[in-house]
Amino acid sequence: MQNEARLLHVTGTVQGVGFRPFIYRLAKSHGLSGYVKNLGNHVEILIEGKRANLESFLNNLPEKKPPLARIKKIKINIVSFSGLPEFIIIQSEEGTFENSIIPPDTAICEECRREIFDSSSRYYHYPFTVCTNCGPRYTTVRTLPYDRENTTMADFPLCEDCEVEYTNPFNRRYHAQPFCCPECGPEIWLSDAQGKVFEKNYEAIVKASDLLEQGSILSIKGFGGFHIACNARKEDPVKELRRRLGRPEQPFAVMAKNTAVVESFAEPRDGDRRCLTSSRRPITVLPKSKAFKLAESVSPNLHNIGVMLPYTGTQNLLFDLVPDSVYVMTSANLPGRPMVIENEEALEKLKGIADFHLLHNRVIANRNDDTVIRVVNGQKAFIRRSRGFVPEPIGLPFEVEAVAGIGAEMNSTITLAKGNLAYISQYLGNTSHIETFRYHAEVFQHLVQLTGIEPLKWGCDLHPSFNTTRFAISRGEEKALRIQHHYAHILALMADNSLPEDSRVLGIALDGVGYGEDGTVWGGEILGTSYFGYKRLGHLLPQSMPGGDLAVKIPGRMVLGMLSGKLGEAELEKLPLYFPRGRQEFSAVAQQLRRKINVTVSSSAGRVLDAAAALLGICQVRTYEGEPAMKLESAAKKSLQKPDLPLVFKKEGKAGTPVLDTTELLLGVYEYSGGKYSPEDLAFAVEENLAKGIAEITITLAAKKGFEKVGLSGGVAYNDHITSCIAGTVKEAGFEFLTHRRVPCGDGCISFGQAIAAGLATGSEGTL
């Protein structure tokens, strides 16, 4: 049989995942010669030999690929046979690495985990044990190409034994850049709050376990930053941690050894289990079990809890010592600020918070917080897309020139896109804080360096006062396009669902705030959307927010803003609302509303839910983002009657635009309060009626305007009850319903939508 040759170009996540040694072994097993080399944005493979062997190789390649590899495309060309004597691996070449795909950090694999518990292994009890199938990647990368000398592991030259494994293509540690052993790799140690070291290596982990069991609070350095940990089964350390952090109510995520332990306090479903146990190890938001065997203050007044399983060697060793332990594992940062990543920074910033520090000396090149996922309406929904997923690109259904999406203000991310790939950064936080904004700028520069994408156009928020808007305008100048916030939400939804360029969607955007085209605050919008423009076809009734942002922090202000036109001042004063300065503040707010002084107007769905939570006595002060709405959802889950109350009244707005009258919704709650329905029943009724009212308006508009697809985006889409109700009603009416699949529903998707808008040169109300 005549010899033939094939030249392959494989794109996808094929760098830093053991792809080249896999190709080497596969070629050798099929008796083929040639080479494999990394070209940054793809791998080039030349194979030569008998046709049958070539075909068998091509069939096996996608079937047997390494576990972390993600093949996007294989391009195959027939070329001339050159008679190469053997198959070789060619090392990385200097040159362009534009659109290189760096693999994300992943959990320690089962083979490495077994080795750290095998007393005969040279990796016994060594927490930094990894191979090509696991471990940190993105958090170690300084520059490209992704070779050891360009990562933070350059600080740790390989010993002779590791060099043998690292250079052997038949070894699973071949060119595993984070690879090391106790002789040549990073060290771990335990210090007190002042930095005095008193235990090293495995003994440090043993002592840390003892301290956690005794009730101490520790900082623990991981892949992409520090966690603050304490014993989640005991009230005292959890309450003390809350006191030290100044977080009276914000839920803490916890970590447990395995799903068996998780089931002692939560009820994971099949989809939850897949998330929990995947190699990406996100925090997965789970329903609490009836026998909740953790401290109540871990997740107070909520029906669910964020849970993750160990993903580092250190964490696995820690949980092996006390198998049924459960620890709070919360990010070491103030809300909205960057995570702590340096040892000296931890000693300084966590003074008075952590009693002890479990530290190591591997530098963290890129902060990367834990990913958070919740199953909503039976589907995975990203609350925060970060560790385990970043910087994995999102495929686009069309091509764009080099563009940047700079993000909004809260829960910010950055997106760089070119061709048919978009790279979304890790979660950055609240860019109104100067240290987070500086971090935002650092991540932008690093993402440009890693992807090689120099933006030709820039997308940013419509709000003129956002730091991100100013950043885009200062960098992009006339090439900066300001994108309406909710339009960006729906564009992100469309691209997330891979809709082609000529698609139209009737998008529902429900969130807290977004600057509107008319200068008011939007947040409950129904937008007729294409990739080239949008129309505001419906919305929630604009409501008064006395004091602006104060109405967000004290939702009782929102109640007065919504009901002041329906109830007299004497009736309003009797409402069970909280104001920090009591009667004096109530009077000041009432006067603000009468005189229309310092009163913002908003159609926000989030503010309506906040007002309902306050009126029902469920949450009177917001101490963390989304708190009133989250507690309202948890209360609704406890409803026994699940009443179907007619609380919603729809009316026509300007030019026949349908408006959902949320004042009537809240007034209905007031009128039914104190009767046969509990606050939990009325919380359910609020969510049910709000969802049905929005769905009914949307269905009417879709039929009238000829839309076949309806989609939902925005932070309110994390509410399982509201999303499920809207989805069910829309589907029952015969329309296709879209939700997010690969990017967050909340503001973490805004930069993605902005990049799409900039790439297709859109941005304001226009032609559908």
What is the DSSP annotation of 698-731?
Answer: HHHHHHHHT--EEEEESGGGG-HHHHHHHHHHHH
Instruction: Give the model's pLDDT for residue 437.
Output: 93
Percentage with pLDDT > 70 across the chain: 97
Q: How many CA atoms lie within 13 A of 538 on its CB side?
A: 26
Q: What is the pLDDT of residues 94-153, one digit of tens each?
A: 554 555 567 899 999 999 999 999 999 999 999 999 999 999 999 999 987 788 999 999
Euclidean distance between CA atoms 719 and 722, whole angstroms:
6
- The band of 91, judged by pLDDT with boundaries at 50, 70 and 90, is confident
User: Nearest Cα to 185, choosing from 126, 103, 120?
Assistant: 126
Segment 552-574 shows an average pLDDT of 94
Q: Are 746 and 493 in contact (CB under 8 A)?
A: no
Q: What is the pLDDT of residues 395-422, one digit of tens each?
A: 999 999 999 999 999 999 999 999 999 9
Q: Which two tokens stand for residue 65?
A: 């690929």
Q: Are 364 and 152 in contact (CB under 8 A)?
A: yes
Euclidean distance between CA atoms 117 and 711, whole angstroms:
48
Q: Are 606 and 543 in contact (CB under 8 A)?
A: no
Q: Which two tokens stand for residue 691?
A: 């969802």
- The band of 652, judged by pLDDT with boundaries at 50, 70 and 90, is confident
For residue 106, what are the contacts with CB-CB under 8 A and spacing of at least 6? 68, 134, 135, 137, 279, 280, 281, 311, 388
Burial-class residue 594 by CB neighbours within 10 Å (0-12, 13-18, 19+).
Answer: exposed
Euclidean distance between CA atoms 571 and 593, whole angstroms:
15
- The band of 19, judged by pLDDT with boundaries at 50, 70 and 90, is confident
Q: Which two tokens stand for residue 205?
A: 């982990």
Which DSSP state fits 46? E
Residue 212 confidence (pLDDT) above 70 = yes
Instruction: Give the model's pLDDT for residue 552.
Output: 95
User: Nearest Cα to 534, choosing from 251, 347, 765?
Assistant: 765
Q: Where are the beta strands (DSSP E) in 15-86?
A: 33-38, 43-50, 70-79
Torsion 561-566-568-573 (CA) sign: negative
What does 138-186 look like in DSSP terms, one character per residue?
Answer: GGGB-SSS-SGGGBGGGGS---HHHHHHHT-TTSTTTT-TT---TTTS-
In one-letter notation, the amino acid at residue 69 is A
- The band of 762, judged by pLDDT with boundaries at 50, 70 and 90, is low
Length of the chain: 768
Q: What is the pLDDT of residues 574-595, one digit of tens each?
A: 999 999 999 999 999 999 999 9
Residue 16 confidence (pLDDT) above 80 = no
Helical axes 555-563 vs 582-595, angle rounded to 10°: 40
Going edge to edge, which strands form the sheet with 394-405? 415-424, 394-405, 457-461, 480-483
Choosing from 6, 20, 148, 607, which is the catalytic residue?
20
User: Nearest Cα to 222, choosing from 310, 345, 124?
Assistant: 310
Euclidean distance between CA atoms 642 and 688, whole angstroms:
9
Q: Are 391 and 144 in contact (CB under 8 A)?
A: no
User: Nearest Cα to 339, choosing from 439, 249, 254, 421?
Assistant: 439
Q: Which two tokens stand for residue 254?
A: 């916890």
Predicted TM-score (pTM) of this structure: 0.93
Q: How far apart are the first and last CA of the chain?
A: 59
Q: Are 516 and 524 in contact (CB under 8 A)?
A: no
Instruction: Give the model's pLDDT for residue 98.
Output: 52
CA dihedral 230, 233, 236, 237 (to 10 degrees): 0
Neighbours of 449 (CB within 10 A): 14
3-state secondary structure of 362: coil
Cis before 21? omega within 30:
no
- When mean pLDDT is compared across 22-31, 614-623, 642-651, the lowest value belongs to 642-651
For residue 196, what are the contacts with CB-CB under 8 A and spacing of at least 6? none
| Alpha-carbon distances, residue 420 vs 72, 114, 364, 390, 492 (angstroms) | 11, 40, 30, 17, 14
What residues are paired with 535 via a beta bridge? 528
Q: Are 138 and 104 in contact (CB under 8 A)?
A: yes
Choosing from 38, 99, 231, 377, which is the catalytic residue?
38
Euclidean distance between CA atoms 449 and 428, whole angstroms:
18
Q: Are 508 and 694 in contact (CB under 8 A)?
A: yes
- 20 flagged as catalytic: yes
Burial-class residue 641 by CB neighbours within 10 Å (0-12, 13-18, 19+).
Answer: middle
Q: What is the pLDDT of residues 287-318, one digit of tens each?
A: 999 989 999 999 999 999 999 999 999 999 99
Q: Are 206 and 200 in contact (CB under 8 A)?
A: no
Question: Domains in the chain, ordered, with CATH?
Answer: 3-90 (3.30.70.100), 188-368 (3.90.870.40), 538-738 (3.30.420.40)
Segment 478-491 shows an average pLDDT of 96
| Alpha-carbon distances, residue 695 vs 406, 440, 725 (angstroms) | 31, 37, 8
3-state secondary structure of 504: strand
Q: Which two tokens stand for residue 143?
A: 């520059």
CA dihedral 404, 409, 411, 415 (to 10 degrees): 0
- 362 flagged as catalytic: no
Neighbours of 346 (CB within 10 A): 25
